[in-house]
Structure 1
Protein backbone atom coordinates (compact mmCIF):
# COMPACT_ATOMS: atom_id res chain seq x y z
CA UNK A 1 0.00 0.00 0.00
CA UNK A 2 2.78 2.45 0.89
CA UNK A 3 4.43 1.94 -2.47
CA UNK A 4 1.22 2.63 -4.38
CA UNK A 5 0.64 5.87 -2.47
CA UNK A 6 4.23 7.02 -2.98
CA UNK A 7 3.97 6.18 -6.70
CA UNK A 8 0.68 8.04 -7.08
CA UNK A 9 1.81 11.25 -5.36
CA UNK A 10 5.35 11.15 -6.74
CA UNK A 11 4.14 10.64 -10.31
CA UNK A 12 1.67 13.53 -9.95
CA UNK A 13 4.44 15.83 -8.74
CA UNK A 14 6.87 14.81 -11.47
CA UNK A 15 4.18 15.13 -14.16
CA UNK A 16 3.21 18.60 -12.94
CA UNK A 17 -0.25 17.59 -11.77
CA UNK A 18 0.90 18.91 -8.40
CA UNK A 19 2.77 22.18 -8.84
CA UNK A 20 5.56 23.69 -6.69
CA UNK A 21 3.96 25.41 -3.74
CA UNK A 22 0.84 23.23 -3.75
CA UNK A 23 -0.10 22.09 -0.27
CA UNK A 24 -1.16 18.67 0.91
CA UNK A 25 -2.53 17.72 4.30
CA UNK A 26 -2.32 14.50 6.25
CA UNK A 27 -6.10 14.54 6.71
CA UNK A 28 -6.71 15.02 3.00
CA UNK A 29 -4.31 12.26 1.99
CA UNK A 30 -5.68 9.95 4.66
CA UNK A 31 -9.18 10.41 3.28
CA UNK A 32 -8.11 10.15 -0.37
CA UNK A 33 -6.23 6.87 0.02
CA UNK A 34 -8.26 5.38 2.86
CA UNK A 35 -5.26 4.63 5.04
CA UNK A 36 -4.11 5.47 8.54
CA UNK A 37 -2.32 8.66 9.51
CA UNK A 38 0.78 6.61 10.28
CA UNK A 39 0.89 5.25 6.72
CA UNK A 40 0.50 8.73 5.26
CA UNK A 41 3.30 10.07 7.45
CA UNK A 42 5.61 7.22 6.40
CA UNK A 43 4.92 7.96 2.74
CA UNK A 44 5.55 11.67 3.20
CA UNK A 45 8.88 10.95 4.87
CA UNK A 46 9.98 8.99 1.82
CA UNK A 47 8.86 11.75 -0.56
CA UNK A 48 10.69 14.25 1.64
CA UNK A 49 13.86 12.15 1.36
CA UNK A 50 13.62 12.63 -2.43
CA UNK A 51 13.14 16.39 -1.90
CA UNK A 52 9.80 16.27 -3.70
CA UNK A 53 7.99 17.79 -0.71
CA UNK A 54 8.77 19.39 2.62
CA UNK A 55 6.73 19.69 5.78
CA UNK A 56 6.25 22.93 7.66
CA UNK A 57 4.42 23.42 10.92
CA UNK A 58 0.99 25.07 10.53
CA UNK A 59 1.35 25.01 6.73
CA UNK A 60 1.33 21.33 5.89
CA UNK A 61 3.15 19.41 3.20
CA UNK A 62 4.42 21.61 0.37
CA UNK A 63 5.45 20.47 -3.11
CA UNK A 64 9.04 21.41 -3.91
CA UNK A 65 10.46 23.03 -7.03
CA UNK A 66 12.10 20.58 -9.52
CA UNK A 67 15.47 22.22 -8.88
CA UNK A 68 15.50 20.61 -5.44
CA UNK A 69 14.58 17.05 -6.48
CA UNK A 70 17.03 14.20 -6.03
CA UNK A 71 17.17 13.52 -9.76
CA UNK A 72 19.36 10.42 -9.28
CA UNK A 73 16.67 8.65 -7.25
CA UNK A 74 15.58 5.65 -9.32
CA UNK A 75 11.90 6.23 -8.54
CA UNK A 76 12.00 9.82 -9.79
CA UNK A 77 13.70 8.63 -12.95
CA UNK A 78 11.01 5.99 -13.44
CA UNK A 79 8.21 8.53 -12.97
CA UNK A 80 9.85 10.99 -15.35
CA UNK A 81 10.31 8.32 -18.00
CA UNK A 82 6.60 7.48 -17.72
CA UNK A 83 5.41 11.08 -17.78
CA UNK A 84 5.20 14.01 -20.19
CA UNK A 85 8.90 14.83 -19.71
CA UNK A 86 10.00 11.46 -21.07
CA UNK A 87 11.97 12.73 -24.06
CA UNK A 88 13.93 15.24 -22.01
CA UNK A 89 14.69 12.62 -19.36
CA UNK A 90 15.95 10.12 -21.93
CA UNK A 91 18.16 12.83 -23.41
CA UNK A 92 19.72 13.87 -20.10
CA UNK A 93 20.21 10.29 -18.92
CA UNK A 94 21.83 9.31 -22.22
CA UNK A 95 24.16 12.30 -21.96
CA UNK A 96 25.07 11.16 -18.45
CA UNK A 97 25.83 7.68 -19.74
CA UNK A 98 27.96 9.10 -22.56
CA UNK A 99 29.96 11.06 -19.99
CA UNK A 100 30.41 8.18 -17.53
CA UNK A 101 30.31 4.74 -19.11
CA UNK A 102 33.29 5.04 -21.49
CA UNK A 103 35.47 5.97 -18.50
CA UNK A 104 33.90 3.14 -16.51
CA UNK A 105 34.76 0.70 -19.30
CA UNK A 106 38.37 1.90 -19.30
CA UNK A 107 38.46 1.48 -15.52
CA UNK A 108 37.03 -2.03 -15.77
CA UNK A 109 39.77 -2.94 -18.24
CA UNK A 110 42.30 -1.97 -15.56
CA UNK A 111 40.57 -3.14 -12.38
CA UNK A 112 38.17 -6.00 -13.15
CA UNK A 113 39.04 -9.45 -11.84
CA UNK A 114 39.27 -12.51 -14.07
CA UNK A 115 35.79 -13.69 -13.13
CA UNK A 116 34.30 -10.29 -13.90
CA UNK A 117 36.05 -10.16 -17.27
CA UNK A 118 34.80 -13.60 -18.28
CA UNK A 119 31.30 -12.80 -17.06
CA UNK A 120 31.18 -9.68 -19.26
CA UNK A 121 32.13 -11.77 -22.29
CA UNK A 122 29.47 -14.34 -21.39
CA UNK A 123 26.84 -11.63 -20.96
CA UNK A 124 27.71 -10.10 -24.33
CA UNK A 125 27.26 -13.53 -25.95
CA UNK A 126 23.95 -13.97 -24.14
CA UNK A 127 22.81 -10.56 -25.36
CA UNK A 128 23.39 -11.69 -28.94
CA UNK A 129 21.40 -14.90 -28.48
CA UNK A 130 18.51 -13.13 -26.76
CA UNK A 131 18.55 -10.20 -29.17
CA UNK A 132 18.47 -12.38 -32.26
CA UNK A 133 15.62 -14.37 -30.71
CA UNK A 134 13.66 -11.19 -29.97
CA UNK A 135 13.34 -12.01 -26.27
CA UNK A 136 13.31 -8.41 -25.14
CA UNK A 137 12.55 -8.89 -21.43
CA UNK A 138 15.35 -11.45 -21.08
CA UNK A 139 17.58 -9.19 -23.19
CA UNK A 140 16.80 -6.31 -20.82
CA UNK A 141 17.79 -8.37 -17.76
CA UNK A 142 21.09 -9.37 -19.38
CA UNK A 143 21.73 -5.79 -20.53
CA UNK A 144 21.20 -4.47 -17.01
CA UNK A 145 23.56 -7.15 -15.67
CA UNK A 146 26.19 -6.21 -18.28
CA UNK A 147 26.18 -2.48 -17.55
CA UNK A 148 25.88 -2.99 -13.79
CA UNK A 149 28.92 -5.25 -13.76
CA UNK A 150 30.86 -2.79 -15.90
CA UNK A 151 30.13 0.10 -13.54
CA UNK A 152 30.90 -1.94 -10.42
CA UNK A 153 34.15 -3.24 -11.92
CA UNK A 154 35.40 0.22 -12.85
CA UNK A 155 37.30 0.79 -9.60
CA UNK A 156 35.34 4.02 -9.11
CA UNK A 157 32.69 4.01 -6.37
CA UNK A 158 31.01 7.07 -7.92
CA UNK A 159 30.45 5.20 -11.18
CA UNK A 160 29.30 2.10 -9.30
CA UNK A 161 26.65 4.15 -7.48
CA UNK A 162 24.98 4.91 -10.83
CA UNK A 163 24.02 1.28 -11.46
CA UNK A 164 20.35 1.83 -10.55
CA UNK A 165 20.19 4.97 -12.70
CA UNK A 166 21.43 3.05 -15.75
CA UNK A 167 19.10 0.15 -14.95
CA UNK A 168 16.11 2.50 -14.93
CA UNK A 169 16.95 4.08 -18.28
CA UNK A 170 17.47 0.66 -19.86
CA UNK A 171 14.17 -0.52 -18.41
CA UNK A 172 12.39 2.63 -19.50
CA UNK A 173 13.62 2.33 -23.07
CA UNK A 174 12.25 -1.21 -23.32
CA UNK A 175 8.97 -0.62 -21.49
CA UNK A 176 8.28 2.63 -23.33
CA UNK A 177 8.47 0.82 -26.68
CA UNK A 178 11.71 2.49 -27.79
CA UNK A 179 13.57 -0.77 -28.41
CA UNK A 180 13.22 -2.57 -31.76
CA UNK A 181 11.78 -6.09 -31.62
CA UNK A 182 15.27 -7.33 -32.46
CA UNK A 183 18.17 -5.17 -31.23
CA UNK A 184 20.33 -3.79 -34.02
CA UNK A 185 23.45 -5.66 -35.08
CA UNK A 186 25.61 -2.65 -34.30
CA UNK A 187 24.39 -2.74 -30.68
CA UNK A 188 25.08 -6.46 -30.34
CA UNK A 189 28.56 -6.03 -31.81
CA UNK A 190 29.15 -3.03 -29.56
CA UNK A 191 28.58 -5.04 -26.38
CA UNK A 192 30.84 -7.80 -27.69
CA UNK A 193 33.62 -5.35 -28.51
CA UNK A 194 33.41 -3.63 -25.12
CA UNK A 195 33.53 -6.99 -23.33
CA UNK A 196 36.48 -8.16 -25.42
CA UNK A 197 38.47 -4.97 -24.77
CA UNK A 198 37.82 -5.22 -21.02
CA UNK A 199 38.75 -8.91 -21.01
CA UNK A 200 42.01 -8.09 -22.78
CA UNK A 201 42.79 -5.24 -20.38
CA UNK A 202 42.80 -2.66 -23.17
CA UNK A 203 41.47 0.48 -21.48
CA UNK A 204 41.74 2.80 -24.48
CA UNK A 205 39.91 0.35 -26.72
CA UNK A 206 37.23 -0.29 -24.07
CA UNK A 207 36.63 3.45 -23.79
CA UNK A 208 36.35 3.88 -27.56
CA UNK A 209 34.03 0.91 -28.00
CA UNK A 210 31.72 2.03 -25.20
CA UNK A 211 31.60 5.55 -26.64
CA UNK A 212 30.62 4.08 -30.02
CA UNK A 213 27.97 1.87 -28.42
CA UNK A 214 26.43 4.83 -26.59
CA UNK A 215 26.47 6.93 -29.75
CA UNK A 216 24.22 4.25 -31.27
CA UNK A 217 21.98 4.49 -28.22
CA UNK A 218 21.90 8.30 -28.37
CA UNK A 219 20.95 8.22 -32.05
CA UNK A 220 18.29 5.56 -31.52
CA UNK A 221 16.67 7.43 -28.62
CA UNK A 222 16.77 10.74 -30.48
Structure 2
Protein backbone atom coordinates (compact mmCIF):
# COMPACT_ATOMS: atom_id res chain seq x y z
CA UNK A 1 0.00 0.00 0.00
CA UNK A 2 2.71 2.57 0.85
CA UNK A 3 4.33 2.00 -2.56
CA UNK A 4 0.98 2.64 -4.19
CA UNK A 5 0.56 5.87 -2.22
CA UNK A 6 4.08 6.98 -3.15
CA UNK A 7 3.41 6.34 -6.83
CA UNK A 8 0.11 8.20 -6.70
CA UNK A 9 1.72 11.19 -4.98
CA UNK A 10 4.59 11.27 -7.49
CA UNK A 11 2.18 11.01 -10.42
CA UNK A 12 -0.15 13.73 -9.16
CA UNK A 13 2.57 16.19 -8.20
CA UNK A 14 4.70 15.54 -11.29
CA UNK A 15 1.78 15.92 -13.68
CA UNK A 16 0.70 19.15 -11.98
CA UNK A 17 4.20 20.62 -12.27
CA UNK A 18 4.52 19.67 -15.94
CA UNK A 19 1.05 20.91 -16.91
CA UNK A 20 1.61 24.23 -15.14
CA UNK A 21 -0.78 23.83 -12.23
CA UNK A 22 2.27 24.49 -10.04
CA UNK A 23 4.19 27.03 -12.15
CA UNK A 24 7.93 27.60 -12.07
CA UNK A 25 8.97 29.38 -8.89
CA UNK A 26 6.06 28.07 -6.83
CA UNK A 27 6.96 26.86 -3.34
CA UNK A 28 5.28 23.63 -2.27
CA UNK A 29 4.86 23.09 1.46
CA UNK A 30 4.79 19.55 2.82
CA UNK A 31 1.99 20.37 5.26
CA UNK A 32 -0.23 21.69 2.46
CA UNK A 33 0.55 18.76 0.18
CA UNK A 34 -0.31 16.30 2.95
CA UNK A 35 -3.75 17.83 3.26
CA UNK A 36 -4.25 18.28 -0.47
CA UNK A 37 -3.35 14.69 -1.38
CA UNK A 38 -4.56 13.04 1.81
CA UNK A 39 -1.30 11.22 2.50
CA UNK A 40 1.31 11.14 5.25
CA UNK A 41 4.42 13.31 5.59
CA UNK A 42 6.66 10.33 4.77
CA UNK A 43 4.81 9.80 1.47
CA UNK A 44 5.26 13.48 0.60
CA UNK A 45 8.97 13.33 1.46
CA UNK A 46 9.46 10.33 -0.83
CA UNK A 47 7.53 11.98 -3.67
CA UNK A 48 9.59 15.17 -3.29
CA UNK A 49 12.78 13.09 -3.37
CA UNK A 50 11.75 11.46 -6.67
CA UNK A 51 10.74 14.77 -8.24
CA UNK A 52 13.93 16.42 -7.03
CA UNK A 53 16.02 13.69 -8.68
CA UNK A 54 14.12 14.36 -11.92
CA UNK A 55 14.99 18.05 -11.71
CA UNK A 56 11.43 19.30 -11.15
CA UNK A 57 11.93 20.48 -7.57
CA UNK A 58 14.66 22.03 -5.44
CA UNK A 59 14.38 21.80 -1.66
CA UNK A 60 15.03 25.03 0.21
CA UNK A 61 15.77 24.60 3.91
CA UNK A 62 13.08 26.05 6.19
CA UNK A 63 11.09 27.17 3.12
CA UNK A 64 9.78 24.19 1.14
CA UNK A 65 10.27 22.74 -2.33
CA UNK A 66 10.55 25.22 -5.18
CA UNK A 67 9.32 24.27 -8.65
CA UNK A 68 12.18 24.62 -11.12
CA UNK A 69 11.84 25.93 -14.69
CA UNK A 70 11.39 23.29 -17.39
CA UNK A 71 14.90 23.94 -18.72
CA UNK A 72 16.24 22.27 -15.57
CA UNK A 73 14.11 19.13 -15.73
CA UNK A 74 15.90 15.92 -16.68
CA UNK A 75 14.84 15.51 -20.33
CA UNK A 76 15.73 11.80 -20.31
CA UNK A 77 13.76 10.85 -17.21
CA UNK A 78 10.97 8.44 -18.31
CA UNK A 79 8.49 10.05 -15.90
CA UNK A 80 9.20 13.55 -17.22
CA UNK A 81 8.85 12.29 -20.78
CA UNK A 82 5.53 10.61 -20.04
CA UNK A 83 4.12 13.67 -18.28
CA UNK A 84 5.22 15.91 -21.11
CA UNK A 85 3.64 13.62 -23.69
CA UNK A 86 0.30 13.97 -21.90
CA UNK A 87 0.63 17.68 -21.09
CA UNK A 88 0.41 20.95 -23.00
CA UNK A 89 3.95 20.52 -24.37
CA UNK A 90 3.29 17.10 -25.89
CA UNK A 91 4.00 18.14 -29.48
CA UNK A 92 7.36 19.69 -28.65
CA UNK A 93 8.28 16.64 -26.58
CA UNK A 94 7.40 14.31 -29.44
CA UNK A 95 9.57 16.38 -31.80
CA UNK A 96 12.56 16.27 -29.46
CA UNK A 97 12.28 12.52 -28.99
CA UNK A 98 11.80 11.82 -32.69
CA UNK A 99 14.85 13.90 -33.58
CA UNK A 100 16.81 12.00 -30.94
CA UNK A 101 15.81 8.75 -32.62
CA UNK A 102 16.94 10.00 -36.04
CA UNK A 103 20.31 10.99 -34.60
CA UNK A 104 20.97 7.85 -32.54
CA UNK A 105 19.21 4.76 -33.85
CA UNK A 106 20.90 4.42 -37.27
CA UNK A 107 24.31 4.55 -35.56
CA UNK A 108 23.15 2.04 -32.94
CA UNK A 109 22.05 -0.36 -35.70
CA UNK A 110 25.41 0.02 -37.43
CA UNK A 111 27.28 -0.73 -34.20
CA UNK A 112 25.04 -3.71 -33.46
CA UNK A 113 25.88 -5.17 -36.88
CA UNK A 114 29.57 -4.76 -36.09
CA UNK A 115 29.73 -5.81 -32.46
CA UNK A 116 26.58 -7.59 -31.21
CA UNK A 117 27.26 -11.11 -29.89
CA UNK A 118 26.57 -14.25 -31.89
CA UNK A 119 22.87 -15.03 -32.11
CA UNK A 120 21.75 -11.48 -31.33
CA UNK A 121 20.45 -10.89 -34.85
CA UNK A 122 18.44 -14.11 -34.73
CA UNK A 123 16.50 -12.75 -31.77
CA UNK A 124 15.75 -9.59 -33.73
CA UNK A 125 14.51 -11.68 -36.64
CA UNK A 126 12.03 -13.41 -34.33
CA UNK A 127 10.80 -10.04 -33.07
CA UNK A 128 10.46 -8.66 -36.60
CA UNK A 129 8.51 -11.74 -37.69
CA UNK A 130 6.22 -11.39 -34.67
CA UNK A 131 5.65 -7.74 -35.57
CA UNK A 132 4.50 -8.89 -39.00
CA UNK A 133 2.04 -11.36 -37.47
CA UNK A 134 0.66 -8.70 -35.12
CA UNK A 135 0.31 -6.21 -37.99
CA UNK A 136 -1.48 -8.73 -40.20
CA UNK A 137 -3.93 -9.59 -37.41
CA UNK A 138 -4.57 -5.94 -36.55
CA UNK A 139 -3.29 -6.35 -32.98
CA UNK A 140 -1.91 -2.83 -32.50
CA UNK A 141 -1.16 -3.29 -28.81
CA UNK A 142 1.03 -6.33 -29.48
CA UNK A 143 2.64 -4.61 -32.47
CA UNK A 144 3.54 -1.58 -30.35
CA UNK A 145 5.12 -3.59 -27.54
CA UNK A 146 7.10 -5.68 -30.03
CA UNK A 147 8.25 -2.49 -31.75
CA UNK A 148 9.41 -1.05 -28.42
CA UNK A 149 11.29 -4.27 -27.63
CA UNK A 150 12.89 -4.36 -31.09
CA UNK A 151 14.25 -0.82 -30.94
CA UNK A 152 15.36 -1.24 -27.32
CA UNK A 153 17.32 -4.36 -28.23
CA UNK A 154 19.07 -2.61 -31.11
CA UNK A 155 20.21 0.12 -28.72
CA UNK A 156 21.50 -2.48 -26.27
CA UNK A 157 23.11 -4.46 -29.10
CA UNK A 158 25.23 -1.45 -30.02
CA UNK A 159 27.46 -2.26 -27.05
CA UNK A 160 27.37 1.43 -26.12
CA UNK A 161 26.04 1.88 -22.59
CA UNK A 162 24.96 5.47 -23.29
CA UNK A 163 22.88 4.35 -26.28
CA UNK A 164 21.45 1.51 -24.19
CA UNK A 165 20.35 4.00 -21.53
CA UNK A 166 18.13 5.67 -24.15
CA UNK A 167 15.93 2.58 -24.46
CA UNK A 168 13.49 4.01 -21.90
CA UNK A 169 13.08 7.43 -23.55
CA UNK A 170 12.77 5.91 -27.01
CA UNK A 171 10.21 3.39 -25.75
CA UNK A 172 8.29 6.35 -24.32
CA UNK A 173 8.42 7.98 -27.76
CA UNK A 174 6.88 4.97 -29.45
CA UNK A 175 4.16 4.65 -26.81
CA UNK A 176 3.59 8.40 -26.91
CA UNK A 177 2.91 8.30 -30.64
CA UNK A 178 0.30 5.64 -30.01
CA UNK A 179 -1.31 7.64 -27.19
CA UNK A 180 -1.56 10.65 -29.53
CA UNK A 181 -3.22 8.54 -32.23
CA UNK A 182 -0.25 8.79 -34.60
CA UNK A 183 0.16 5.09 -35.32
CA UNK A 184 -1.48 3.69 -38.46
CA UNK A 185 -4.55 1.59 -37.75
CA UNK A 186 -2.99 -1.21 -39.79
CA UNK A 187 0.84 -1.02 -39.97
CA UNK A 188 1.79 -1.65 -43.59
CA UNK A 189 3.93 -4.52 -44.76
CA UNK A 190 6.75 -2.26 -45.90
CA UNK A 191 7.32 -1.12 -42.33
CA UNK A 192 7.55 -4.64 -40.96
CA UNK A 193 9.82 -5.61 -43.86
CA UNK A 194 12.18 -2.75 -42.99
CA UNK A 195 12.43 -4.12 -39.45
CA UNK A 196 13.25 -7.53 -40.88
CA UNK A 197 15.88 -5.87 -43.09
CA UNK A 198 17.47 -4.34 -39.99
CA UNK A 199 17.43 -7.71 -38.22
CA UNK A 200 18.92 -9.48 -41.24
CA UNK A 201 21.66 -6.86 -41.61
CA UNK A 202 22.63 -7.17 -37.94
CA UNK A 203 22.51 -10.98 -38.12
CA UNK A 204 24.78 -11.01 -41.18
CA UNK A 205 27.09 -8.28 -39.82
CA UNK A 206 26.29 -5.78 -42.56
CA UNK A 207 26.69 -2.36 -40.87
CA UNK A 208 25.96 -0.27 -43.98
CA UNK A 209 22.63 -1.99 -44.61
CA UNK A 210 21.74 -1.95 -40.91
CA UNK A 211 22.30 1.79 -40.70
CA UNK A 212 20.49 2.63 -43.94
CA UNK A 213 17.47 0.46 -43.08
CA UNK A 214 17.13 2.01 -39.64
CA UNK A 215 17.54 5.45 -41.19
CA UNK A 216 14.57 4.72 -43.44
CA UNK A 217 12.43 3.64 -40.48
CA UNK A 218 13.12 6.66 -38.28
CA UNK A 219 13.00 9.22 -41.08
CA UNK A 220 9.66 7.87 -42.31
CA UNK A 221 8.41 8.15 -38.76
CA UNK A 222 9.53 11.77 -38.66
CA UNK A 223 7.93 12.53 -42.03
CA UNK A 224 4.65 11.02 -40.86
CA UNK A 225 4.46 13.01 -37.63
CA UNK A 226 6.29 16.30 -38.28
CA UNK A 227 3.05 18.17 -39.07
CA UNK A 228 2.08 17.75 -35.39
CA UNK A 229 4.91 19.99 -34.19
CA UNK A 230 5.32 22.28 -37.22
CA UNK A 231 4.20 25.38 -35.30
CA UNK A 232 5.98 24.60 -32.03
CA UNK A 233 8.81 26.97 -31.02
CA UNK A 234 12.19 25.46 -30.23
CA UNK A 235 13.83 25.65 -26.81
CA UNK A 236 17.25 27.22 -26.34
CA UNK A 237 18.09 26.73 -22.65
CA UNK A 238 20.33 29.21 -20.90
CA UNK A 239 22.77 28.40 -18.08
CA UNK A 240 21.18 26.27 -15.37
CA UNK A 241 20.49 27.87 -12.02
CA UNK A 242 18.80 26.52 -8.93
CA UNK A 243 17.37 29.95 -8.17
Query: In structure 2, what is the Cα distance between the partners aligned to 1:188 and 1:219?
Result: 17
**1:149 corresponds to which of 121, 146, 153:** 153
CA deviation vs aligned residue, 1:52-109 (integer Å, no higher than 9, x gap): 0011122211000111111100010000111111111111100000000000000000
Alignment match of 1:109 (pick from 98, 110, 113): 113
Contact 1:187 1:216 in 2 (8 A): no
Aligned residues of 2:119 and 2:203 also touching (Cα < 8 A): no
How many residues align? The count is 222
| Counterparts of 2:185 and 2:6, CA distance in 1 | 35
Q: Deviations over 1:182-209 (max 9, x none)?
A: 1133321221111111111010111111
What TM-score do the two structures reach when normalised by structure 2?
Answer: 0.89
Residue matched to 1:11 = 15
Following superposition, the deviation at residue 175 of structure 1 comes to: 2.3
**TM-score if structure 1 supplies the norm length?**
0.97
1:212 paired to 2:208: no
Aligned to 1:63: 67
* Unaligned stretches of 5+ residues in structure 1: none
- Kindly indicate which of the two structures has a greater share of residues assigned to helix: 1
Aligned pair partner of 2:128 in 124, 130, 133: 124
Q: 1:221 aligns with which of 214, 221, 225?
A: 225
Runs (4+) of structure 1 exceeding 6 A deviation are: none
Three-state SS of the structure 2 residue aligned to 1:62 is strand
- In the alignment, which of 29, 35, 56 is matched to residue 31 of structure 1? 35
